[in-house]
Each structure stands twice: as structure tokens, then as C-alpha cells.
Structure 1
Amino acid sequence: MLRIRPLHFTSNIESWDRLLSALGLVLTEGDGGFRVFDAGSGRLALHGVPDGAAEDGTTALAVEVGDVAEFARRTNLSAADDGTTPAEMIAADHGEACRITAPDGFSFLADPAAHDAQGGGADPALAVVGVWLTEDPTSAAQTLRHVGARPRPVPDADENADFTAKNGGVLLVRPASGTPRSGLGFEYDGGLAPLRERLAAAGIEAGITEEAFGSTLHVPNPDAGAAAPHVPATVWISERRPMG
């Protein structure tokens, strides 16, 4: 199995809880300083940190798998033709995990899934999106193929690459200058106006912008103004549109 489950660090965990609940995610694990929320597709974990911490407002890409050792074996077998072994078993603070390291130096963890089923009551139209920003999108996309992510069509022939995970969530590879890093967003399978109304009912202001390949809903980021670099001003939810 493969499920997207980014880990977001924040000193504003209650504000994120409120935002995620309004978006249609449901709390399925933890409380206090660590919480896991399920969307209709994919999960998001929140990790509380002190205000001003270096990681405040940042997201670490992560996935869940059924059997960590078997996932590592299959990943390295898939990558054998490249002459690489990107998967390494490690002893993380929270237990056994697998670290995936790509040619651009970017790495992320695969953790054992705490439970297989998505949380009931989550909005089935909402998906969690993990973003990989890199100067080497070609090798990043290849690494995601090795871990079992499924390519999906993109609307143009540039360096963007989109993937889905069998057990939920979306992964996007996007070209960007500087050190490779993670980003976070959401997709909504349907019109964004009802979602904006739901957010407004929760007291959260949101605006819809029309972009080249669809509409995007922008919500104020609870972490805006955090000291960490690359913290965006808004959280985005893009409208999922079928590709031809």
C-alpha cells in the first residue's frame, strides 16, 4: 500500500485544526501536540512546535506503507536498472521507518500505516497534496515511480509531473530553484464555491482565482509570518479537473 501523509510543523496547531475541520478532514489519531487528519484521499499529520522554531510553518513530505521492509525491498528492486538503492531502513524516533533519498538530495520517510481505512466522515471530494519542489524534476519523478506512485496526465508538456497513491493522496513534482523542499496543498473534486461557503460558515475567509488550468481556492495560512523561509501566505485548494 502507499498513502500520502505529509507532516506539517506549526506553532498554530489549533488554527490548523479549525481550518482542516472546515475543509472536511476528520481527526483520526492523536491530540494535543500531534494530530493526524484524514481527507477523503490521503492524510495530514500536524506536529506542534514553539513559535519561532526553525521548522515552524514547514511541511515534510511523508508516506504510509503497509510493510516497511517490503516497501524498501520493492523500491530498490524497481530502481536497480538506474544503478541506485534509494530506500534505506532506519530507526526513527517513532520506530522503524524507511528513508527514500533522491538524486537531488531530497529525502522523505515511509512509515508503517497506523490503520488501513480512511476516517469515516471526511469529505470524499477532498485530497491531500504533497509537493516536491526541485531543480531536478526528472529524477524526482523517477523516484516517485520507484516507490509505486502512479503517474497521471498533466495538461501540458513542461517539467511538471503529477502522481496519485493507490491508497490515497496526490504528489506533485514542480521545478523550483534552490534547495529541494516540500510543499502542501489540497485538491477538490468539484466546484469550489460550496467549499468556500463552508469555510465562510466557519469564519474563514477564502478567495477563488482563475488560473491557466482551473480554479484555485486560497485560504489565509495560519503560519503566515513564521520565521522559516518559503512559508506561503495562503493555503491552496485546487479544483480537480479530468485530464484528456
Structure 2
Amino acid sequence: MLRVRPLHFTSNIEAWARLLTALGMVLTEGDGGFRVYDSAAGRLALHEVPKGSAEEGTTALAVEVGDLAEFTRRTNQAAEAEGTTPAELTSADHGEACRITAPDGFSFLADKAAHGAQCADADPALAVVAVWFTEDPDAASRTLRQIGARPRPVPDQDETADFTAKNGGVLVVRPAAGPARSGLGFEYDGGLEPLQERLASAGFQVSVTEEAFARTLHVANPDAPGTSAAHVPETLWISQRHA
């Protein structure tokens, strides 16, 4: 199995909890300073950190798998043709995991999934999107294919690449200058107006942007107030998904 499950660090965990609930996600693990919310496609973990810490407002790309040893074996087998072994079993703070390291130096963790089912109570139209920004999008795309992510068509012909995970969630590669890094977004399969109304009713500032290939909701980022950190965007985006 393969499921998208980014890890977001925030000092505003209650505001994030309200936002994710308004988006139609459901709390399925944890409480207090660590919580996991399920969408119908992908999950998002929240980790509380002190205000002003270096991690605040950042998102770590991460996935969940069924069997760590088998996932590691299959990933390295898929990479053998290129003479690389990107996956390695390791001990993380929270237990055993698999670390995947790409040619651009970017690395992320695969953790063992707590459960395999998708949340039946979550909004069926919402998906979690993990973003990989990199100067080497081709190598990033190869790495995602090696872990079992499934390419899907994109409307333009630039260096962007989109993937889906078998057990839920979206992984996207976006070209960007500087060190490789990760980001967070969402997709919504259907009209954005009901979601916009739901977010506004929950007290969030939200607007719609008409873009070249899709409409996008922009909702105020709970981490933005009180910070001038360049890595914390003013808004989070929810793109309209078209078949």
C-alpha cells in the first residue's frame, strides 16, 4: 500500500484543527500536540511546536506503507536499473521507518500505516496534496515512480509532474530554485462554491482564483498571523480537480 501523509509543524494546532474539520477531514489518531486527520484520499499529521521555532509553518513530505521491509525492497528493486538504492530502513524518533533519498539530496520518510482503510466520514471530494519543489524535477519524478506512485496526466507540458498514491492522496513535483523542499495543498473534486461557503462559515478568509487550467480556493493560513518567515505562505490552496 502507499498513502500520502505529510507532517505539518505548527504552533497553532487548534486553528489547524478547525480548518481541517471545515475542509471535511476527520480526526482519526492522537490528541493534544500530535493529531492525524483523514481525508477521503490521503491523511495529514499535525505536530505542535513552539511559536517562533525553525520548524513552525513547515510541512515534511511523508507517506505511509503497509510493510516497511517489503516497501524498501521493492523501491530499491525498481531503482536497480539506474544503479541506485534510494530506500533504507532507519530508526526515527517515533519508531522504525524507511528513509527515501533522491538524487537532489531531498529525503522523506515512509512510516508503517496505522490502518489501511479510508475514512468513510470524510468529505469524499477532498484529497491531500504533498508538493516536492526541486531543481531536478526529472529525478524527483523517477523517485516517486520507484516508490510506487502512479503518474497522471497534467494539462501543460512543462516540468511539472503529478502522481497519485494507490491508497489515497496526491504527490506533485514542481520546479523551483534553491534547495529541494516540500509543501502542502489540497484538491477538491467538484464545484468549489460549497467548500468556499463552508470555510467562510467556519470563520476563515477565503477567495477564488481563476487560473489557466483550474479554479483554486485560497484560504488564510493559520500559521501566517504574527510571522514574517518567508517559508510561511499567507494562504493555503485547494485546487479544483477535473477528470
- Paired position in structure 1 for 2:176: 176
Separation in 2, partners of 1:152, 1:194: 26
Residue 35 of structure 1 and its aligned partner are, at CA, apart by 0.2
Separation in 1, partners of 2:53, 2:83: 38
CA RMSD for the aligned pairs?
0.8
> Does the residue aligned with 1:178 lie in a helix, a strand or coil?
coil
Separation in 2, partners of 1:5, 1:226: 26
Q: Is the 8 A contact 1:151 1:164 kept in 2?
A: yes
User: Are the structure 2 counterparts of residues 31 and 227 from structure 1 closer, same or farther at C-alpha, using a change threshold of 3 Å?
Assistant: farther
Q: Is the 8 A contact 1:56 1:228 kept in 2?
A: no
User: Are the structure 2 counterparts of residues 168 and 54 from structure 1 closer, same or farther at C-alpha, using a change threshold of 3 Å?
Assistant: same
- Paired position in structure 2 for 1:240: 241
- Paired position in structure 1 for 2:115: 115
Separation in 2, partners of 1:21, 1:241: 23
Q: Is the 8 A contact 1:186 1:237 kept in 2?
A: yes
Residue 23 of structure 1 and its aligned partner are, at CA, apart by 0.4
- Paired position in structure 1 for 2:35: 35
Separation in 2, partners of 1:206, 1:222: 12
> Does the residue aligned with 2:151 lie in a helix, a strand or coil?
strand
Deviations 1:197-226 (A, max 9, x none): 111121212100100111000000011154
Which region of structure 1 is more displaced relative to structure 2, 143-152 or 200-209?
A: 200-209
Residue 157 of structure 1 and its aligned partner are, at CA, apart by 1.1
Separation in 2, partners of 1:41, 1:115: 14
Aligned residue identity for 1:157 = Q
5+ unaligned residues in a row in structure 2: which ranges?
none
> Does the residue aligned with 1:40 lie in a helix, a strand or coil?
coil
Deviations 1:48-95 (A, max 9, x none): 000000000000000000000100000000000010000010011111
Aligned residue identity for 2:233 = P
Residue 229 of structure 1 and its aligned partner are, at CA, apart by 3.5
Which region of structure 1 is more displaced relative to structure 2, 60-69 or 224-233?
A: 224-233
Using the size of structure 2 for normalisation, the TM-score is 0.98
Separation in 1, partners of 2:143, 2:241: 24
> Does the residue aligned with 2:197 lie in a helix, a strand or coil?
helix
Separation in 1, partners of 2:70, 2:230: 36
Separation in 2, partners of 1:200, 1:207: 9
Structure 1 position 161 matched with structure 2 position 161: yes
- Paired position in structure 1 for 2:138: 138
Aligned residue identity for 1:45 = A
5+ unaligned residues in a row in structure 1: which ranges?
none
Separation in 1, partners of 2:70, 2:93: 20
Q: Is the 8 A contact 1:57 1:226 kept in 2?
A: no
Structure 1 position 51 matched with structure 2 position 81: no
Aligned residue identity for 1:238 = S
Aligned residue identity for 1:140 = A
Give % identity. 75
